[in-house]
């Protein structure tokens, strides 16, 4: 049995909070002033159905006469929404109770009833028999018909407080012999949005890991949350208008939901602001606006990138107090010069960033140290992202990281087709954006074909457009991609791509269906066998 059912309150004394509603219902029992219909409304997990059951059992004195429970009928309006269901209910309601004093109907999620079903229910609510009582529960009272609402006694249940939830969770933890700190219980309570059912579910989930003890850190990790100390460092950095590389590296190592992470930061800022610290007030409106966008944010680094762009900040490391100041434009982040292997393989291009409301004057740091496994992991993560362009996903598994020297990352693909996909502007833009979010400006990705001398494609975190760099040596052999004018099919144009073959097979070729573009495609004589593609991707730029 799940814990929220196992520890469901059986009396008003066991109910957490809701003091006003409990007092109204208990006074009705004591004075015997019972209304014929009640509406319990409030957020999920606040005890609406539980309170209805306790009140119904008290009305029929079920503890003294267990047979009276037969006259308490529960109905889920979410699965019984039709008018026929309500007509059957009204017919059965005409039969007096069997053992109890009242015949009581508990209808959960009553707002799910259709309009016709609500009108049918309205008839019996207008003129109910004296023994009939309706206890209705809903999370959306605004969806009920006004004529129905006017005939109900409305009781509003509020969300549970953190203190109330922690007290209930502490009782359950003691019953289950769980060694957990009060700070950890506060995290669970805060994660539950004021709902007792969600709080108990989270506690049961955490307890399933069977740890010897639970503290603030491991509970945060188990629930997919970021440690409060790290949240504080991030918010303080945003207030101080500087985010150092160490902090970005910590965020890069976290595997938490971006939306949840953004909500944690916003909640922390609100708490600080409500606590009287005006330094955090300037962050509230920009963060609220970002949250209102409902963006598909997946990682903490994505959150940081959006916030620093919205706030007009740059991700950089603070320079020592005695270091010279390097002026930067509020819309242009200049790349620090780095030694390169060959001037023919790279051209420095400035990264155009959104206008910033403030001007930052500080020394731009050298790039963080990278290794091959970090870059390979970065490419694997791109393959799992939902917003990665499909054409880029086709070649991510084929990319191999060859070398990292200074700020140049050398990568290779197996053939010219994949190199063409990477050359696509959409893929260029996506790679540059993700490269900057993950590692910061100052890195260049250089792509080439394995074991072949072909043009090398350069992608830089601080580039504004793809740049095709000529190799030092020309390809050994280039075959022509020729248009077959005499074999035009009805649905498109075919091309025949020739390649180096064994003697006697020179006339063989591969037919590729592509848009009607006059172009030539360079290929090396020692390329691996070309793959056959029935249809080229529509956004592949062959020029």
As a three-state string, the secondary structure of 171-228 is HHHHHCCCCECHHHHHHHHHCCCCCHHHHHHHHHHHHCCCCCCECHHHHHHHCCCCCH
Give strand pairing partners of 467: 458
CATH 3.40.50.300, applies to 162-222 = no
Burial label, 497 (beta-carbon count in 10 A; 0-12, 13-18, 19+): middle
The pairing of beta strand 37-41 with beta strand 153-156:
parallel
pLDDT (mean) for 203-224? 91
Average pLDDT over residues 214-220: 91
| Superfamily of the domain at 18-156 | P-loop containing nucleotide triphosphate hydrolases (3.40.50.300)
CA–CA distance, 3 with 319 (Å, rounded to integer): 53
> Distance from first CA to last CA of the chain, Å, rounded?
65
Residue 310: which pLDDT band, with cuts at 50, 70 and 90? confident
Q: What CA–CA distance (Å, rounded) separates 186 from 180?
A: 11
The CATH number of domain 372-469, selected from 3.30.2000, 3.30.40, 3.90.228, 3.30.300: 3.30.300
* Mean pLDDT of the 202-226 span: 91
Handedness of CA 236, 238, 243, 246 (dihedral sign): positive
User: Hey, CA dihedral for 418, 419, 423, 428, is it positive or negative?
Assistant: positive
Out of 260-264, 389-393, 405-409, least confident range: 405-409
Q: Which of 489, 492, 499 is nearest to 522 (CA)?
A: 499
Q: Which residues pair with 494 in a beta bridge?
A: 513
The predicted pLDDT at position 435 comes to: 79
Q: Tell me if the pTM is above 0.85.
A: no
pLDDT higher than threshold 80 for residue 155: yes
- Cβ–Cβ contacts within 10 Å for residue 199, how many? 28
**Least confident span in 330-344, 384-398, 419-433, 455-469:** 330-344
On average, the pLDDT of the chain sits at 76
How many C-beta neighbours within 10 Å does residue 498 have? 15
Q: In the predicted model, is pLDDT for residue 497 greater than 70?
A: no
Catalogue the long-range contacts made by 370-378 (C-beta closer than 8 Å, 24 or more residues apart).
370/404, 370/409, 370/439, 370/443, 371/404, 372/401, 372/403, 372/404, 375/401, 375/404, 375/409, 375/411, 376/401, 378/434, 378/438, 378/439
């Amino acid at each position: 049995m799940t814990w929220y059912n196992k520890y469901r309150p059986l009396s008003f004394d066991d109910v957490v909070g809701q003091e006003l509603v409990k007092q109204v219902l208990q006074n009705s029992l004591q004075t015997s002033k019972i209304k014929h219909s009640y509406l319990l409304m409030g957020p999920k997990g606040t005890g609406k159905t539980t309170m209805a059951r306790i009140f119904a059992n008290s009305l029929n004195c079920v503890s003294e006469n267990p047979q009276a429970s037969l006259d308490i009928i529960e109905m889920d309006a979410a699965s019984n929404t039709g008018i026929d269901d309500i007509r059957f209910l009204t017919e059965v309601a005409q039969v007096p109770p069997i053992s109890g004093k009242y015949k009581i109907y508990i209808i959960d999620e009553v707002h799910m009833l259709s309009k016709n079903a609500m009108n049918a229910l309205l008839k019996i609510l207008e003129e109910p028999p004296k023994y009939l009582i309706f206890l209705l529960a809903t999370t959306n009272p605004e969806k009920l018909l006004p004529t129905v609402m006017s005939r109900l006694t409305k009781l509003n249940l509020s969300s549970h407080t953190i203190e109330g939830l922690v007290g209930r969770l502490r009782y359950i933890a003691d019953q289950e012999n769980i060694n957990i700190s009060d700070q950890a219980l506060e995290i669970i309570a805060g994660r539950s949005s004021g709902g007792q059912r969600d709080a108990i579910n989270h506690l049961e989930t955490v307890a399933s890991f069977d740890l010897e003890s639970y503290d603030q850190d491991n509970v945060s990790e188990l629930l997919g949350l970021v440690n409060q100390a790290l949240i504080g460092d991030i918010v303080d950095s945003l207030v101080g208008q500087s985010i150092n590389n160490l902090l970005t590296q910590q965020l890069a190592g976290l595997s938490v939901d971006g939306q949840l992470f953004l909500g944690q930061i916003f909640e922390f800022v609100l708490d600080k602001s409500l606590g009287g610290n005006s330094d955090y007030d300037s962050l509230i409106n920009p963060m609220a606006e970002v949250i209102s966008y409902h963006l598909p944010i997946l990682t903490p680094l994505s959150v940081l990138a959006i916030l620093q762009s919205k706030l007009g900040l740059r991700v950089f490391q603070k320079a020592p107090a005695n270091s010279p100041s390097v002026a930067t434009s509020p819309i242009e982040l200049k790349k620090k010069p780095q030694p390169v292997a060959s001037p023919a393989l790279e051209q420095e291009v400035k990264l155009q960033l959104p206008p910033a409301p403030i001007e930052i004057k500080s020394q731009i740091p050298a790039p963080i140290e990278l290794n091959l496994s970090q870059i390979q992991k970065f490419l694997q993560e791109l393959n799992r992202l939902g917003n990665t362009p499909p054409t880029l996903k086709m070649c991510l598994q084929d990319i191999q990281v060859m070398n990292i020297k200074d700020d140049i990352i050398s990568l290779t693909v197996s053939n010219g087709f994949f190199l063409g996909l990477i050359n696509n502007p959409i893929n260029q833009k996506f790679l540059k954006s993700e490269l900057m979010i993950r590692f910061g400006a100052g890195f260049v990705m250089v792509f080439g074909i394995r074991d072949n001398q072909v043009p090398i494609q350069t992608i830089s975190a601080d580039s504004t457009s793809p740049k095709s760099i000529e190799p030092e040596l020309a390809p050994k052999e280039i075959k022509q991609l020729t248009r077959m004018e005499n074999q035009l099919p009805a649905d498109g144009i075919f091309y025949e791509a020739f390649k180096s073959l064994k003697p006697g097979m020179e006339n063989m070729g591969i037919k590729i269906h592509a848009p009607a573009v006059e172009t030539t495609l360079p290929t090396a004589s020692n390329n691996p066998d070309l793959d056959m593609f029935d249809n080229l991707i529509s956004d592949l730029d062959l020029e």
